[in-house]
Structure 1
């Protein structure tokens, strides 16, 4: 489960509901202030059981660095919910959602970042569009590996799938609550409410995808788009060594963040934001047309 320690957000962040041909998606939208040169736009995609709030610790730093940053709840997540009257949760459906969001923004190519399961969706979107540089300025995969999750996580996902067949989300919550003593009570209560807002069909579909995702490193490597891989450690979801090997095969910039765990955006936010800004600033597509 995505971890949170704070719900503090930038004072100039606004909640936005973006209507697209594929439905309405809720996002946090953080613009650079009026004294900062606007360098580009970034779209951040959260992981399994997560939400746009996962990126709160890095939003201020990224906007101060000159980037307009949008963190989105995907279809089935938190404040987006089903998004449309006839929701579907296949990987291709979520891929088309991302493309629709970027086209609707109509703000030039975006720096796309996917965390964990969000990396699976982000990678699929870039491959599906053949790395279209009118859509994507760069791709960053944060704590996402080359294919299916580790054996340990596969067992947990199978238990979750069994629970979704027989229990309500309220009944499942005690089994997914990480009960971290460092989590403030109001943040833990937010995580519980966020969990209950998940669409069960989305949770089931995402779990199946993480169990069965093939290694698509070769397909992504063939695309002419700047790539970075962030590896927070320790992480049991995708072994860090497999993540690093994937980055080498991709020819991607590898950013190691020891102590970042599965969510370096939460546990090492300053270092994660600095590394992202350096990568985006050095990417040719970072300038807004």
Structure 2
């Protein structure tokens, strides 16, 4: 579970809705405070129990480099509605949503794509299918296949309990005690509770099953010509850092390890994370025809 550092929107960041041919998506949109958005835009996709707010701490900094930056709630997450059809929450279906969103936001221009944790498994579907031309692709705290270790055990527990006991049980018995034990402020706990109960239970169950069963698709990713970055915290408790480093080698991707961060570098080390993304995006743009 990611814990946003603050919930007040910084200057240049607004909450809005993006309408597409596959539905409406709640987003946070960041634009430069001064100057214009002259560089290619970016789309940031959160993890399983996360939301667009997980990127609040980096949005303003990213936009100040001269680009429009969008963080999204995926279908069934927080402020984006989702159906009761479990088929809408597979990696393939959510990846198609990302394709449509990217084409809508980009308006025909290439777009930088970032997927955090489970969002990495979703976004790679959009990269592999080749329907959208991406300026670059970043896997943030994500892995080559199904989640392992501590977070795998937590996901299996959630998958076993959620259908029978519902979101209320998951929050009161697991997420709230964890937040209290780590000293999360009351206002942030209130937000996390609101976010948890706004999620689609069907979506949560299906997406949890997806993160536990995702196949390794690195070989397919290597066939796509897109500048790729693997970025993760040195203390990541999701996919092990070594696994992510090996994935970067397999993808012939750049690799950035964020000092002091764990599974959510955008929350735990926002300035370092934003600087790494901006440098990578700018370099990717210099290698492609405008």
TM-score between the two structures when normalised by the length of structure 2: 0.93
1:259 is aligned to: 260
Distance 1:244 1:86, change over 3 A: closer
Contact 1:109 1:288 in 2 (8 A): no
- The list of structure 1 runs, each at least 4 consecutive aligned residues, that deviate by more than 6 angstroms after superposition, is 83-87, 285-288
CA contact (8 A) 2:232 2:256 kept: yes
Change (3 A) 1:85 1:206: closer
What is the correspondence of 1:193-204 to structure 2 with a 5 Å cutoff? 193-204=194-205
- How far, CA to CA, are the matches of 1:173 and 1:53 in structure 2? 18
Q: 1:161 to 1:207 in 2, by over 3 A?
A: same
**TM norm structure 1:** 0.93
Which structure carries more helix by proportion?
2
Q: Residue 145 of structure 2 is aligned with which of 136, 144, 147?
A: 147
**1:244-265 C-alpha deviation (Å, 9 max, x unpaired):** 0000111111011021100010
The answer on whether the counterparts of 1:39 and 1:286 sit within 8 Å (CA) in structure 2 is: no
Partner of 2:91: 91
5+ unaligned residues in a row in structure 1: which ranges?
Answer: none
- Structure 2 residues not aligned, in runs of 5+: none
Is 1:231 the equivalent of 2:232? yes
Q: How does 1:203-242 map to 2 (within 5 A)?
A: 203-242=204-243
Structural RMSD (CA): 2.1
How far apart, CA to CA, are the structure 2 residues paired with 1:121 and 1:166?
26
Q: Which residue of 1 aligns with 2:113?
A: 112
* CA offset digits 1:161-200 (Å, max 9, x no partner): 1211111212220212322544221011101110000101
> Which of residues 144, 160, 169 in structure 2 aligns to 1:171?
169
Equivalent residues of 2:84, 2:202 under 8 A apart: no
- The size of the alignment, in residue pairs, is 286
Aligned-pair distance for 1:233?
A: 2.4
